[in-house]
Chains A and B, each alone.
Chain A
Amino acid sequence: MIRRPFLTLLAAVAFTIMLGPVVILLGVAFTAGSTLTFPPEGLSLRWFGAALAYQPFLDSFRTSVVVALTSTLFALALGIPAAVALHRGSLPGRRVLENLFLSPVIVPELVLGLALFQQIMVGLHSTATAALVLGHTVLLLPYAVRVAGASLALADPRLEEAARGLGAGPVRTFFSVTLPVMRPGILSAAILAFVTSLNNVPLSLLLTGPGVATLPVEMLNYVQSSFDPVVAAVSVLLLAGSVAVALVTERLVGFTKVFGR
């Protein structure tokens, strides 16, 4: 017996809205027909073949992965030291500094994208790839500072004091005590940052150049200009990749711990 019929009904509607369109996508991707119809007109893998033969998708996928990896590394390299200073530095104005590091979240991504396009790409003649890496690093920095910092906030600072007391220098203390303590947080931040970068549309939208665009932006442009199911096939491939990432994440740190922030 269902104890709360009204709440259960609302929850069922919620899950239908969240997951229904994704189920439709699966149907469309495996269709043998050439239009966006559900239920599909027969089954085939032809649109997967078409997706993998479409050069702009392959190029933009490579761009997306390069941008996501580079900006995740940059964000961690900048964010981890900042998190250490914010949590262990007993600095004056700590809250102001922390808010400054989290502030990119407040500004609409589309606005940041426009700003980088005008000031960095047009103003300073940078390449689209460089602007993408810069923009994504800024976008991911708050995740790195907050998520990596969270594990530091939970750790006991006396561990580090003990290491210092036993004669370790500050650098050795950092690498053999602080960094290992932060490991789960760093791993969570890295996964979250990578997925966030890979999926971004509004920031990447205007940061395009000849032959350079990220995969989601290329997909968006394709959907707006043609009405065949190629993008559904690409989506199903990305869906499969996301399931794999989710399973690995579950093994490493816990899926809901990382994406439930």
Chain B
Amino acid sequence: MFRRSAMVALLVPGLAVLAFGFLYPVAATLAAPPDGDPATVARETAALLSDPYLLPVIARTIRVAVVTTAACLLLGFPVAYLISRAPARWAGRLLALAIFPLMLNTVVRTYGWLVLLGSNGLISDVSAALGLGRPQLLYTETAINLGLVQLFLPIMILSCYSSLSQQDPRLEEAARGLGASPGRAFRQVVLPLAMPGALVGCTLVFAGAVTAFTTPQLLGGARERILSTLLYSRVNVSLDWPAASAVALVMTVLVLAVSVLSGRLTPKGSAQ
């Protein structure tokens, strides 16, 4: 349609903004914050990776992301499967209901947990009424997991649904017709064919859980730090920029590693 030089010109403004607003600041901050140099960040990163107080933070971040991903898959896949096999009218409504929370900000979505899990919250009241005392629910790793599962379920449902809705339901019926039990047809036909979508979902949820901020801040607080909330306190409370850069570096590498790994596992040409 256009000459090649004109096509290149169409890309230039976008590339310029990416360079100035993304590549340059991120590279500069990860390499050397304003009051430090690469050696400082390297020293801080080494300190972070050998600090007995900070290693549990990294371990907790990974643990929370793994648990969240597994729970989202366990709960989200059935939703996606049932929607993909429901009559069209219902399927549309259920899918809309599952996606709707994505329109709300994370404070709105997490707020309800503060009420449920608080020291005078609903669950605590029920537990006290049953004579079980008032367990600490808020500011625990379980609270973070619950909040993150709520946050990322829609994404897992969508990813699984994109694979499941492309599957021909007659394949499952054929397996049943050939004598497979419903459970066996599900395990041997439905699940393997839905793997690409489930894998994309797991990658997105894992990366999202590693980098989520609002929910771990509100539900884990200073008691149960993960990398993102640690980064924030390094910037805002201790004002230690090289240390913040070190945390940012570890977080970025973690997310990149998972993306690369899942890219290796995903067959070429499958839907993203």
Contact = CB atoms under 8 A, between A and B. Distances in A.
A88 B22 contact: no
B25 A220 contact: no
Given A114-B248, A118-B34, A170-B6, A246 B103 contact: yes
A223 B219 CA distance: 11
Contacts of A135: 21
Interface stretch (B43-51, B109-117, B194-202): B109-117
Interface string B155-175: 001100100000000000000
A201 interface: yes
Contacts of A18: 98, 101, 150, 153-154
B78 interface: yes
B100 interface: yes
A199 B34 CA distance: 29
Nearest to A146: B272
A36 B34 contact: no
Interface string B88-116: 00001001111111111111111111111
Given A7-B81, A114-B235, A238-B104, 18 more contacts: A7-B78, A8-B82, A15-B97, A25-B112, A28-B112, A81-B13, A82-B14, A89-B4, A89-B8, A107-B26, A108-B228, A111-B211, A112-B22, A114-B231, A118-B33, A141-B18, A170-B6, A238-B105
Interface stretch (A44-52, A98-106, A182-190): A98-106
Interface in A57-100: 74, 77-79, 81-82, 84-86, 88-91, 97, 100
A8 B72 CA distance: 15
Contacts of B118: 36
A88 B2 CA distance: 8
Interface on chain B toward A: helix, strand, loop, or mixed SS? Answer: helix
A94 B106 CA distance: 35
B241 interface: yes
Contacts, number: 285
Interface stretch (B52-60, B127-135, B252-260): B252-260
Contacts of B121: 36-38
A115 B153 CA distance: 29
Given A17-B150, A101-B18, A114-B235, A78 B24 contact: no
Interface residues of B, number: 89
B237 interface: no
Interface string B14-51: 11011011101110111001100000000000000000
A21 B113 contact: yes
Contacts of A106: 255-256, 259
A14 B79 contact: yes
Given A15-B97, A17-B150, A78-B13, A235 B255 contact: no
Contacts of B14: 78-79, 81-82, 101, 141, 145
Nearest to B245: A114
Name which of A82, A114, A138, A205 has the most chain B CB atoms within 10 A of its CB.
A114
A225 interface: no
Interface string A120-163: 10110000000000110110010001000000000001001100
B251 interface: yes
A109 B207 CA distance: 11
Given A239-B104, A260-B95, A260-B99, A24 B112 contact: yes
A141 B79 contact: no
Contact of B1 (A22, A115, A161, A199): A161
B95 A256 contact: yes
A7 B183 CA distance: 11
A213 interface: no
Which of A19, A134, A245, A246 has most chain B Cβ within 10 Å?
A19
Contacts of A74: 17
